[in-house]
């Protein structure tokens, strides 16, 4: 089984190279197979299909990203509010720069989003776990208390959707997006009424 996993990894690496150089559509299973010194048919012993290879690549990427995010959100000496802020900023920059650097990534994301609609939901659910943990911590240290943490996390995701897929929604450059995200987060944290009270600015 360790053997099988090693071959899977080899396939993933070969496909990753091809996908990011030539694009998902322009890469053929025969090419990936040749890169791994095997026949096209043999790929199907390791993956159900081409799209599943792309999904495996995306999942590895996502898990690495989530690792970074967990590190960021575990930073001591900062309030939960501060860490939430940094979380969403980092999230936006990460996506923005990745798509800006390599348009092929956008192609892969589009294909997966189109053919596997549930996949994006799975990633969002993963991120919510992290948010809920942050809410728990805020409750413990008395910073703020939320009744339905899972639901609130979902609402924050809804409200920051525009920044999770930055170049899908607007052609704005990163600095403008950052200014907007800043404004939205302030609203989400303080609300409209709090602007009057002017308590706990972000």
**Taking the CB of residue 20, how many other CB atoms lie within 10 A of it?**
18
Residue 71, burial from CB neighbour count under 10 angstroms (0-12, 13-18, 19+): exposed
Contact with a second copy (CB under 8 A) among 64, 103, 173, 191: 191
79 dihedral zone (left: phi>0; alpha: psi -120 to 50; beta):
beta
51 binds, among DNA, a second copy, none (CB under 5 to 8 A by kind): DNA
Task: Assess 200 for contact with a second copy (CB under 8 A).
Answer: yes
Q: What angle do CA 24, 61, 168 make, to 5 degrees?
A: 65
Contact with a second copy (CB under 8 A) among 40, 159, 173, 176: 159
30 binds, among DNA, a second copy, none (CB under 5 to 8 A by kind): DNA
**Torsion, Cα of 149, 155, 158, 163 (10° steps):** -70
CA dist 38 → 43, 44, 46 (Å): 8, 11, 12
Contact with a second copy (CB under 8 A) among 13, 160, 167, 174: 160
Write the interaction track for a second copy spanning residues 26-65; mark x where CB under 8 A is met and - where it is not.
----------------------------------------
Among 34-42, 61-69, 98-106, 194-202, which window interacts with DNA (CB under 7 A)? 34-42
Task: Assess 71 for contact with DNA (CB under 7 A).
Answer: no
CA distance 193 to 136: 24
Nearer Cβ to a second copy, position 65 or 85? 85
Task: Assess 152 for contact with a second copy (CB under 8 A).
Answer: yes
Nearer Cβ to a second copy, position 43 or 81? 81
Task: Assess 114 for contact with DNA (CB under 7 A).
Answer: no
Structure tokens at 135: 């809410």
CA distance 194 to 149: 21
Q: Which residues bind a second copy (CB under 8 A)?
A: 81, 117, 144-147, 151-152, 154-156, 158-162, 169, 171, 180, 183-184, 186-196, 199-200
């Amino acid at each position: 089984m360790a053997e099988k996993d090693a071959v899977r990894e080899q396939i993933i690496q070969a496909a990753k190279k091809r996908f990011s150089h030539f694009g998902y559509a322009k890469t053929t299973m025969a090419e990936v197979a040749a890169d791994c010194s095997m026949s096209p048919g043999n790929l199907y012993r390791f993956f159900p299909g081409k799209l599943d290879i792309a999904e495996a690549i995306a999942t590895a990427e996502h898990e690495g990203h989530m690792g970074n995010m967990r590190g960021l959100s575990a930073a001591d000496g900062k309030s939960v509010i501060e860490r939430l802020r940094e979380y969403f900023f980092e999230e936006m920059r990460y996506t923005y720069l990745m798509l800006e650097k390599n348009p092929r990534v956008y192609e892969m994301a589009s294909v997966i989003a189109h053919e596997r609609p549930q996949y994006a939901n799975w990633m969002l659910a993963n991120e919510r776990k992290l948010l809920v943990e942050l809410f728990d911590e805020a409750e413990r240290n008395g910073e703020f208390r939320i009744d339905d943490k899972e639901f609130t996390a979902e609402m924050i995701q809804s409200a920051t959707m525009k920044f999770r897929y930055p170049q899908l929604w607007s052609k704005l450059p990163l600095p403008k997006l950052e200014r907007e995200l800043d404004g939205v987060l302030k609203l989400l944290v303080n609300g409209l009424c709090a602007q009057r009270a002017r308590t706990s600015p972000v």
